[in-house]
Amino acid sequence: MKNILFAASECVPFIKTGGLADVCGALPKAFNKNEWDVRVVIPNYSCIPEHWRNQFEYVTHFYMGSGTYIQSKYVGVLQYKLDGITYYFIDNQEYFNCFVPYGDFRYDIEKFTFFDKAVLSMLPLIGFRPDIIHCHDWQAGLIPVFLKNEFQADSFFWGIRSIMTIHNLKFQGIWDVKTIQGLTGFPRELFTPDKLEFKKDANMLKGGLVYADYITTVSDTYAQEIQTEYYGEGLNGLLSARHFDMQGIVNGIDYGVYNPETDPKLYANYNAESFRKKKAINKEKIQEQLGLTVDKKKYMIGLISRLTDQKGLDLISYVMDNLIDDYTQLVVIGTGDPKYENMFRHYAWKYPDRVSANICYSDDLAHKLYAAADAFLMPSRFEPCGLTQLISFRYGTVPIVRETGGLKDTVQPFNEYDNVGDGFSFTNYNADEMLHVINYSKHIFYDRKRQWNQMVERGMANDFSWNASKFRYEGLYNYLLGV
């Protein structure tokens, strides 16, 4: 049996703010249980819903300090088994009593430093020695650093390998050297430009990238992009230097959760045979629910996103009045930057029969929109992987994307002459180019319905379940273990 431990700041179904939680929830379940024992550790946040927390079982507790700033503190370890996976929860009320997983950034840096050291400290006590610790994003970035330095004094840790997965390079866990040294107790020589030092500060993700045995990111194109200055967020030199120890593996989605045939949240279930009639039922019902003009012939574009600069919303803002013509409706679900929240609210006020701005996150409404919309818009400035386009395919909704990161890797642009492709894409970060492609998609939708439906069928036939990606992870784990 090969033992793998996922360490992350969030995991479905317990706590979720983004795609990282989906990965840590779905990927461990994809492995063959006879060969792999994959377990997950996250913090025991008080905001994890009560019906889960009531089932957690106490395993052990101990006291641990870190650096001069974190004196001896209580570390509880709880566990819970679900779908054959064991989940561990690091308990400390002072750090993890919260309404949301992330808040004040200086405090986040301290609590995840504490979490990273606690993850390693608990291992000798819980009767589980991982062969590989798979660390996700900056919140787990110090685990490889602790592992290769402080914890090497204990023979229990000899030979444990580590992988660092970058879900979004923009977030790195950067603070001043003095504070991070005080929180970690790392010697001064670790804070040099070839280790944790970054533009005179200290960088938790960089530490993980330097000390991990291997680096992965969430798509092939993103793995290439982050080695360039434009996408590299200041770490492109380090990532280029480590490119032989790095690969991109596209995320999957949980095909049980996202299945239009069985999804209980839909108004009408359907499959690749019945979508022509049944998608229209979902469209009319959501139009009614959201107060839009009820007409199945309208071209409905969906957008489910964090409302931030990364997502290309400035492009939409620039062409919005031209985008929303008499034939087009736009339904938005998401929260984020107030300027984008207010922009969509403004257009929903200006065009109440065509634009619906749902400034919230509603999983129920999201599922309904995937089923109702004709197309999904993702004009991202950069996109490490993107899950929205994968879910769209599953529901027979055609993605319109910018060719970057995982969007470029997963969406094949439609070619009307060869009749191939499963979506629409544009290359440059340019609003007019985006609008041109959206208008072209409308032309195919209205004037070449047969080709449109064939495109939908190709999208629904794609396999972006975790089955495909897990083989690459298995190959990587076996490579690191010398199997």
CA angle 441, 447, 451 (to 5 degrees): 70
What's the CA gap between 318 and 435, in Å, rounded? 10
Say which CATH architecture domain 275-462 belongs to: 3-Layer(aba) Sandwich (3.40)
Beta bridge partners of 216: 165, 247
CB-side neighbour CA atoms (13 Å) of 231: 19
What's the CA gap between 291 and 357, in Å, rounded? 11
Mention the CATH class of domain 2-252+467-480.
alpha beta
What's the CA gap between 36 and 40, in Å, rounded? 13
Q: Return the HEC string of 93-120.
A: HHHHCCCCCCCCHHHHHHHHHHHHHHHH
Q: Token digits for 160? A: 């444990």
Do the domains spanning 2-252+467-480 and 275-462 agree at the CATH topology level?
Answer: yes
* Beta carbons of 399 and 389 less than 8 angstroms apart: yes
Residues ≥6 apart with Cβ < 8 Å to 264: none
Q: Among candidates 134, 136, 120, which has minimal Cα distance to 4?
A: 134
State residue 37 phi and psi, 5-degree precision.
-110, 95
What's the CA gap between 27 and 480, in Å, rounded? 18
Q: How do the domains of the chain map onto residue ranges?
A: 2-252+467-480, 275-462
* pLDDT value of position 9: 98
What's the pTM?
0.92
* pLDDT value of position 18: 81
Per residue of the chain (483 residues), what is the pLDDT tens digit?
Answer: 999 999 999 999 999 988 899 999 999 999 999 999 999 999 999 999 999 999 999 999 999 999 999 999 999 999 999 999 999 999 999 999 999 999 999 999 999 999 999 999 999 999 999 999 999 999 999 999 999 999 999 999 999 999 999 999 999 999 999 999 999 999 999 999 999 999 999 999 999 999 999 999 999 999 999 999 999 999 999 999 999 999 999 999 989 899 999 999 999 999 999 999 999 999 999 999 999 999 999 999 999 999 999 999 999 999 999 999 999 999 999 999 999 999 999 999 999 999 999 999 898 999 999 999 999 999 999 999 999 999 999 999 999 999 999 999 999 999 999 999 999 999 999 999 999 999 999 999 999 999 999 999 999 999 999 988 999 999 999 999 998
* pLDDT value of position 145: 98
Q: Among candidates 64, 205, 46, 48, which has minimal Cα distance to 125?
A: 64
What's the CA gap between 168 and 384, in Å, rounded? 6
* pLDDT value of position 405: 97
Residues ≥6 apart with Cβ < 8 Å to 263: 269, 367, 371
* pLDDT value of position 310: 95
Residues ≥6 apart with Cβ < 8 Å to 226: 166, 169, 217, 232, 233, 235, 236, 239
What's the CA gap between 387 and 218, in Å, rounded? 10
